[in-house]
Amino acid sequence: MADGTVKMGQVDGARVRTLTERHVMNTYRRLPLVLVRGEGSWVWDADGRRYLDFVTGLAVTGVGHAHPAVTAAIAAQAQVLGHVSNLYHSAPQAELAARLARLSGLGRVFFCNSGAEANEAALKLARRWAWQRAGAAQAKGPVPHVVLAAARSFHGRTYGAMSLTGQAKYQEGFAPLVPGIVHVPLNDVAALEAAFTPEVCAVLLEPVQGEGGVYPCTEEYLQAARRLCDERGALLMLDEVQTGLGRTGKMFAFQHYGIVPDVLTLAKALGGGLPLGATLAREEVAEAFVPGTHASTFGGNPICCAAGLAVLDLLEREDLSGRAARLGQRLVEGLLSLGRRNPKVGEVRGLGLMVGVDIGEEASAVAAACREKGLLVNAVGDHTLRFLPPLTATDEEVDLALSLLEQALDWR
């Protein structure tokens, strides 16, 4: 391929790996696979081998790979308008904002390109809101600025998002971090309340910690966070970058808990495979942003928003949230059954089709064994495997994944 492009059916896997190793910054521990095609729950590598994909780009391809409705929406919009500056209006962005507002109950949306950017916007919005509420520059006392976040959390790799992340391994070598962020243990109401000083302007939590090992918030904890924010005049912000849009068995994970946040961040599944993030907020909170306070060149790109509309159409029309709840229960029951037969399988945690299982040996080695058997899952931490199937998966595919995991454990 003299022009260096990768063409379907003509991919030289060795060449792709060589080019990557030579020219792409070494920020990932890449697996040896060169993936060239996807369809539904399956992907194919350059050697023609097929894999059951229960990673889905880390919860990105929630409606499966190359869904015809999403690809048609992308192609149609690309033929009309590929990009327009946010100095102007565009129909896909406006329609997607209205849909998200209706579904979430939060009236305003800021569009960006990723979950990290959505969380950066949330951090800026919280501090700007607190500053404005305190009377801006005329405030007599210190403006509340502290954001409480959870230990073991993950909110992204940009500076603000990394500083919000409650895992030191992601922050090593990058000090000083953004100040005014305090981490508290997840699901410890007393610790959360003790950290709630007058300087606190917001709390940011993942309803289910994904990168932290698939640990859900308890109902008591999230409701206590809502109550404390109301009592102390702070914002409750939820990072649903991974849990949002049907993944947990409801459109948004917060709907399991009987609360509504003030700010909500989304990305991953929203663009159906394209880079699209969003920060949603209540009307009176969103008013803290005015022209010049925040922006994104590519945020709300027409093609990405067209894909997002197609994703929401599928989620609503096919009740993929309900499907995730049912398939998630099937997956959890299968893992529990496997645990009764195999002592290597430990605790099973999760919500809907976001499931983690503890393994009594190195999780990355078990994930590699699964890959050899034709199943893609990923390790989070030393001893946890994470399952993120597409919401369009079938019962048979869930059962196959369980069978392949069992084979991988026996093989090891």
Bridge partners of 193, per DSSP, are none
Identify the pLDDT of residue 1: 32
The single residue of 252, 262, 268, 387 carrying the catalytic annotation is 268
At 210, is the secondary structure helix, strand, or coil? Answer: coil
Catalytic residue status for 54: no
* Residue pLDDT, tens place only, 209-258: 999 999 999 999 999 999 999 999 999 999 999 999 999 999 999 999 99
The CATH fold of domain 13-60+319-411? Aspartate Aminotransferase, domain 1 (3.90.1150)
Please state, rounded to an integer, the average pLDDT across all residues of the chain.
Answer: 95
Position 135 scores a pLDDT of: 84
Which ranges of 134-197 would DSSP assign to H, the alpha helix? 159-164, 189-195
Using alpha carbons, list the distances in angstroms from residue 359 to 127, 169, 347, 365. Answer: 41, 21, 8, 10
Distance CA 313, CA 100 (A): 12
Q: Which residues pair with 87 in a beta bridge?
A: none
Locate the domains of the chain by residue range: 13-60+319-411, 71-317
Q: Read off the pLDDT of residues 257-314 as tens digits, 9 standing for 90 and up.
A: 999 999 999 999 999 999 999 999 999 999 999 999 999 999 999 999 999 999 999 9
- Which of 154, 252, 254, 289 does the annotation list as catalytic? 154
The model's pTM is 0.95
What does CATH list as the number for 71-317?
3.40.640.10
Given 53, 54, 239, 254, which residue is catalytic?
Answer: 239
Residue 344 known to be catalytic: no
Q: What is the pLDDT of residues 109-138, one digit of tens each?
A: 999 999 999 999 999 999 999 999 988 555
- The identity of residue 264, as a single letter, is L
Residue 124 Ramachandran class (φ > 0 left, ψ -120 to 50 alpha, else beta): alpha
> Is 124 among the residues known to form the active site?
no
Please report the beta strands in 123-175, taking only residues with DSSP state E, as ranges in sequence order.
146-150
Per residue in 306-354, pLDDT (tens digit) is 999 999 999 999 999 999 999 999 999 999 999 999 999 999 999 999 9
At 351 the three-state DSSP class reads: strand
Half-sphere exposure of 389 (CA within 13 A, CB side): 33
Q: Kind and range of the H or E element at 125?
A: helix 115-133
Taking only the tens place, the pLDDT of each residue in 171-183 is: 999 999 999 999 9
